Structure 1
Amino acid sequence: MWKRIIAVLVARNREFYRDRAGLSWNILMPIMMVLAFAFIFQGDGEDLLKIGVVTPDGDLASVESPFLALKHIGFVPLTEPEAAVIKVERHQLDLLLDPRAEPVYWVNLNSAKGYLAERLLRDAYATPGGVAPERQTVSGEALRYVDWVLPGVLAMNIMFSSLWGVGWVIVRYRKNGVLRRLKATPLSPWEFLTAQVVSRLIVVLAASLVVYLGAALLLDFPMRGSYLALFLVYVAGSLCLISLGLIIAARLRTEEVADGLLNLMSWPMLLLSGVWFSMEGTSALAQTASSALPLTHVVAAAREVMIDGAGVLEVLPEIGLLLALAAGFLTLATWMFRWE
């Protein structure tokens, strides 16, 4: 069995690295995207203040505070003050307000926007009988957009390479009669699909490593967590997305239909998984949909490692979830698979 799996794996890898155009595109495209975002967002960003508000139920309507009546300020409901304070340290929030029984707020002394937000806050509470919130100060350097977006770009590259690398290719095999010839061999569907998963996993991780090293040479981005944790996150994410691509390839006969379904699958993940922008402050429906997407957990776990300094234990729930989804997707793809 293993000899047959290895034979298919080697053949698939040779087909990939002999396609120099495809190999170059898989490596250069994400690096160019990271550089483009670094150039576009190298300024201070938009002028709108972003204020975090601690609320137990995540609903701003239940919060009573004169500060929330101000216009042209973005208020973001947050349920975990400890994690939100870190966002203030990194300038992701201009100010954090906890308006409960004894109001308190956190402001970054190094943030110009934080200074303005504090003045507006204190003016809002400067009413007869009003109780000014207690002041807590933090410090820290701003987190650049390119630092925040890089884990998502790496995950996005893995998604595209995983889905199209197996989904589109296997459909092409079926259309060209390659699968019909393999059907005459002792190779089973499970062995064939396992070889495709392992082959694509090697390619995806190798390409991601090259992209990561290239970005490290060109950009001074933070890597505060465990490299082992980051590796395990991307391995689990790759396995999950490759197995998802196999479901698309299980029965389709034309590349056009496969391409359409892969786009239909990838674009919601691209928009709702937090690759380009945070899902904090979006509607409850959007956040629910986001939490159901595999790419969301890959991006979130990678950011925890690279930005928040998480180790293996901290991201183990996301890794376990992605591996469980990968096993389920691969089982379903094997059951659905047809040679012709």
Structure 2
Amino acid sequence: MNIGRIRSLVIKELLAVLRDRKSRMALIMPPILQLGIFAFAATLEVKNISLAVLDKDGGKAAVELTQRFAGSPYFTKVFRLPGQAGVAPAMENARAMAVLVLDQGFSRDVAAGRQAAAQLILDGRRSNTAQIVEGYAGLIVKQYNDDLAAARGQTGLPATLVARNWFNPNLDYLWFTVPNLIGMLSMVVGLIVTALSVARERELGTFDQLLVSPLSPWEILAGKTLPAMILGTVESIAIVAVAIGLFRIPCVGSLGALGFCLVLYLFSVVGFGLFISSLCSTQQQAILGTFTFMIPATLLSGFATPLETMPQVLQLLSLANPMRHFLLAVRGIMLKGMPFAMVVDTVWPLAVIAVVTLALAGWFFRRGLD
């Protein structure tokens, strides 16, 4: 074994990587980007919780308990509801993660030393977050009980908390995970197929033949888009079928609305894939570019951690992430029967993302003709 030849080969490989600008970017940027995303976004801590309060009592004990929630570091947005009719919209529109309901007679029961029930309605679509929020609320009520008992010199529980979970009554984690996987796996198919298409042509030397053919850049773009759309649609339908048939995930909404969201979502994903592919010269670069995009996209989608726990800058950045909008829609359609008008209001940014990314990919194709 010749140490000198090995050293020369190592130096040659290092120079080959460092002299190639795209290789340098693929080597340096992904770790930095992922480190920043993981450090700020990948947190299981639940904070900045929005709490709606329906106070039907209005007495001293009800006001004091509400103020304890408002003073907690976890519940940063506490607002009152005017009546019972406001509970459902607050939960459905995700304005509140939980609703605290204080019935009439709460303060009277507390003053009389009887048990007074406060109801906490939680958004069960995010089962892990709901359990953590329930724990925070339980601690606040327990501290209230302890302080009240100490002031009266008695023991017991002057107030109790009764929790209900909407949209996922048993907090089955599969009901949260599997709908999210529909979005993630559909993105994998759409990105991989499109990201490798142009890069493969360039690597094999056939891309120049496409450019000198009678096909226009937009025809080439369409020819690259449609196969990915077909494969992605078939794959997505299979995933939905497995989710409903095998995992027994309920779909209380319209399958037509879900199909509409899938097609629009795949268009936006394919746009990103073609844009990545148009920037890459080899399949290796395309694969690196795909995974560089997918990891931040997954983290900034609300797949594993709530978006409201992230810094404001990352929340704004997530608006350009197609998975964020699709996951809101697929969970809403399957778990709570979101009406079509609300579906359109949720997923319309996907059309904007698709137009922008496809236009950028088309511009790069046209540039290849110059």
Structure 1 distance, partners of 2:332, 2:76, is 20
CA gap of 1:299–1:288, structure 2 versus 1, over 3 A, is same
| RMSD (Å) for aligned C-alpha atoms | 4.2
C-alpha displacement of 1:67: 4.4
The answer as to whether partners of 2:197 and 2:224 remain within 8 angstroms in 1 is no
The number of equivalent residue pairs is 276
Q: Are 1:54 and 2:51 counterparts? A: yes
1:163 maps onto 2:205 in alignment: no
| 104, 107, 113: which one aligns with 2:120 | 107
Report the structure number with the largest CA radius of gyration. Answer: 2
Report what 1:148 is aligned to: 176
C-alpha displacement at 1:116, in angstroms?
A: 4.3
Paired AA for residue 106 in structure 1: Q
Partner of 2:266: 238
Equivalences for 1:177-216 in 2 at 5 Å? 177-216=205-244
SS in 1 for 2:281: coil
CA distance in 2, matches of 1:251, 1:85: 44
| Structure 1 residues 149 and 266: alpha-carbon distance in aligned structure 2, compared to 1, 3 A threshold | same
Q: How does 1:48-87 map to 2 (within 5 A)?
A: 52-54=49-51, 65-67=67-69, 75=75, 77=77, 82=87, 86=91
CA distance in 2, matches of 1:167, 1:255: 8
Provide the secondary structure at the position in 2 that maps to 1:65.
helix
Deviation at 1:218, TM superposition (A): 1.9
* Aligned counterpart for 2:255 among listed residues 210, 227, 232: 227
Q: What amino acid maps onto 1:301 in structure 2?
A: A
Paired amino acid for 1:154: I
- The whole-number CA distance in structure 1 between the counterparts of 2:68 and 2:231 is 55
Q: Distance in 1 between matches of 2:347 and 2:50?
A: 30
Aligned AA for 2:241? L
Q: Contact 2:191–2:269 at 8 Å: present in 1 too?
A: yes
Aligned counterpart, 1:249: 277
1:172 and 1:315, CA in 2 relative to 1: closer, same or farther beyond 3 A?
same
Q: Please say if residues 51 and 75 of structure 2, whose CA atoms lie closer than 8 Å, have aligned partners that are also in contact.
A: no
- How many Å separate the matches in 2 of 1:260 and 1:139? 41
**Counterparts in 2 of 1:138 and 1:183: CA distance versus 1, 3 Å:** closer
CA shift in 2, pair 1:84/1:314, >3 Å: closer
Contact 2:70 2:78 in 1 (8 A): no
**Which amino acid letter does the alignment assign opposite residue 343 of structure 2?**
V
| Maintained 8 Å contact 1:53/1:97 | no
User: How high is the sequence identity, in percent, across the aligned residues?
Assistant: 23
Give the unaligned 5+ runs of structure 1.
1-45, 57-62
Q: What CA deviation, in whole Å up to 9, does each residue of 1:31-57 have, x standing for no partner?
A: xxxxxxxxxxxxxxx9x999954379x
8 Å contact 2:119–2:162 — kept in the other structure? yes
3-state SS of 1:107 partner: strand
Conservation of the 8 A alpha-carbon contact between 2:244 and 2:250: no
The 2-side partners of 1:258 and 1:182 are apart by 19
Aligned pair 1:322/2:339, yes or no?
Answer: no
Is the 1:148–1:307 Cα contact (8 Å) retained in structure 2? no
| Residue number among 264, 269, 274 corresponding to 2:297 in the alignment | 269
Gaps of 5+ in 2: 1-43, 54-64, 82-86, 108-116, 123-129, 152-157
* Pair 261,137 (structure 1): closer, same or farther in 2 beyond 3 Å: closer
The C-alpha deviation readout for 1:122-155, integer Å capped at 9, x for no partner, is 4277387xxx999997576223111112221111
Cα shift readout 1:41-91 (whole Å, capped 9, x = no counterpart): xxxxx9x999954379xxxxxx98334667xx954647797368749xxxx
Residue 339 of structure 1: CA displacement?
A: 6.5
State which of 287, 301, 308 in structure 2 corresponds to 1:280.
308
Task: Classify the secondary structure of the residue corresponding to 2:215.
Answer: coil
Q: Aligned equivalents of 1:248 and 1:136: distance in 2? A: 50
How far did 1:276 drift?
2.2
1:273/1:293 contact within 8 Å kept: yes
Please show how residues 116-131 of structure 1 align to structure 2 within 5 Å.
116=138, 119-120=141-142, 122-123=144-145, 126=148
**2 CA distance for matches of 1:147 and 1:332?**
37
CA distance in 1, matches of 2:316, 2:195: 27
Are the counterparts in 1 of residues 69 and 75 from structure 2 also a CA contact under 8 Å? no
Alpha-carbon distance change, 144 to 78 in structure 1, aligned in 2, over 3 angstroms: farther
The aligned amino acid for 1:178 is T
Task: Report the CA distance shift for 1:290/1:123 in structure 2 as closer, same or farther (over 3 A).
Answer: farther
Q: Residue 120 of structure 2 aligns to which amino acid in structure 1?
A: V
How far is the alpha carbon of 1:157 from its aligned partner? 0.9
Distance 1:215 1:303, change over 3 A: closer
Partner residue of 1:297 out of 298, 301, 325? 325
